[in-house]
Amino acid sequence: AQDATSLPDYAKWKDADALIVHSDKTIETKRGEIGTSIITPKEKLYIRNNVNAPPAAIVANPEDWQVEFKGVREPKTLTVAELKTMGLATVATVLQCSGNGRKYFQDRLTGDQKISGTPWTVGAAGCVLWSGVPLRAVVDTLGGAGDGAKFVTGTGGEEIPAGLDPKDLVVERSVPISNLDNVILAWEMNGKPISLAHGGPLRMIVPGYSGINNVKYVKTVALTEVETDAKIQRSSYRMHAVGEKGAPEQPSIWEQPVKSWITAPLEGAKSGRIQIAGVAFGGMNAVAGVDVSTDGGQTWQKGEFIGPDLGRFAWKVFVLPVELAPGTYSLVSRATDSEGNVQPEEPELNGGGYSHNGWRAPAVEINIV
Ligand code: MSS
């Protein structure tokens, strides 16, 4: 059982009963707490910080937060107040840790194979609304992109303790410049100034991209010719075999693959009519459909999406009413995106335990009496 004392200071305001506290930097939403209202309330949203968050003082006067823009024709430092004059957009995105589902990979390891990292199941994910200025508007105001720009590189505002190599600790991520028209520099989440826990005063949101690329406390945004050589980009968050080290030539954890999971029911029930519900999303592409099975994937039925469509980067809530007789059932869901990509039964094992999107592992086993 969790209580509020197990939440770290910067997350004390969260709903402790809805969360699993793995550590002060890794807090997961309980599977049954995601709800069916599409948007994840901030009190229930998971947290992942790679290093200690900056002091709470940085969110006291969010308008004064300064961001340095580089790699544009007219480089400049701007405050959030100035950014607010340049444009406004709102986007709903699935914010999901790259390691969400890592536990399912860890469960498959044999012999001396090892995948280190938080054993997240499904709860290192939420769907939230971000409001801020489109990066494109800022870049246009600053004279356009510099020559040869190939990446958008955002730097987190954490202080690096003296004596340590900043390259080893800085949360600095580069994403392909093809995202320039999608990226938002957000100051608001679900209608409120972004909390410290979620990256206020300003966060770089890369819709469709895995959690790590959504840099919190963003203090520098640069259009760069090459990817940053910060460790978190160079060797961390790379796709490689178990036992291998991360390296720049391996694929970076960028776009999220198509995924879904069931959120209800999670426990046995009386026989009769039951509403199976869950969430499904397509990462960069809109989710197009979801199949649901009560027999572990032997037979499938189409789930129905409910609620408003919040755009291609949001998740959709699905429902399937079923009539269940007494017995045991294995409930699973399998999503398809608008490009025809289908959630695999088992994704490829990888050394970081990243991007798990298999449909088999998050099965819900229930007894109907
Ligand atoms: N940012 C910064 N600045 N720092 C840190 O640490 N982390 C990451 C992102 N961003 C960080 C950042 C991660 S890693 C994630 S997931 C995310 O964030 C989370 O978010 P939230 O809000 O939920 O906490 Mo994995 O891929």
Write the ipTM: 1.00
Q: Which residue has the tokens 């444009």?
A: 87
d(CA 79, CA 81): 5
Specify the pLDDT at position 177.
98
Is 198 close to ligand 1, i.e. is its CB under 6 Å away? yes
Is 95 close to ligand 1, i.e. is its CB under 6 Å away? yes
State the distance from the centre of ligand 1 to the C-alpha of 97, rounded, in angstroms: 7
Cβ count within 10 A of residue 258:
25
Pocket perturbation via mutation, ligand 1, pick of 34, 209, 212, 232 by most ligand atoms within 8 A of CB: 212
Is 8 close to ligand 1, i.e. is its CB under 6 Å away? no
Nearest residue (CA) to ligand 1, atom 25: 97
**Residues forming beta bridges with residue 67, ordered by sequence position:** 78
> Which two tokens mark 247?
């390296």
Is 211 close to ligand 1, i.e. is its CB under 6 Å away? yes
Specify the pLDDT at position 5.
60
Nearest residue (CA) to ligand 1, atom 8: 212
Is 98 close to ligand 1, i.e. is its CB under 6 Å away? yes
Specify the pLDDT at position 2.
47
Is 97 close to ligand 1, i.e. is its CB under 6 Å away? yes
pLDDT in tens, the chain (369 residues): 445 569 999 999 999 999 999 999 999 999 999 999 999 999 999 999 999 999 999 999 999 999 999 999 999 999 999 999 999 999 999 999 999 999 999 999 999 999 999 999 999 999 999 999 999 999 999 999 999 999 999 999 999 999 999 999 999 999 999 999 999 999 999 999 999 999 999 999 999 999 999 999 999 999 999 999 999 999 999 999 999 999 999 999 999 999 999 999 999 999 999 999 999 999 999 999 999 999 999 999 999 999 999 999 999 999 999 999 999 999 999 999 999 999 999 999 999 999 999 999 999 999 999
**Residues forming beta bridges with residue 335, ordered by sequence position:** 290
Specify the pLDDT at position 111.
96
State the distance from the centre of ligand 1 to the C-alpha of 229, rounded, in angstroms: 18
d(CA 231, CA 228): 9
Nearest residue (CA) to ligand 1, atom 7: 49
Is 284 close to ligand 1, i.e. is its CB under 6 Å away? no
State the distance from the centre of ligand 1 to the C-alpha of 2, rounded, in angstroms: 23
Is 156 close to ligand 1, i.e. is its CB under 6 Å away? yes
Cα angle 259-98-102, degrees, rounded to a multiple of 5 = 80
d(CA 238, CA 354): 8
Nearest residue (CA) to ligand 1, atom 24: 47
State the distance from the centre of ligand 1 to the C-alpha of 50, rounded, in angstroms: 7
Counted residue by residue, the chain has a size of: 369
Is 101 close to ligand 1, i.e. is its CB under 6 Å away? no
Specify the pLDDT at position 63.
98
Which DSSP letter does residue 243 get? T
Nearest residue (CA) to ligand 1, atom 22: 198
Specify the pLDDT at position 1.
44
CB 79 within 8 A of CB 66: yes
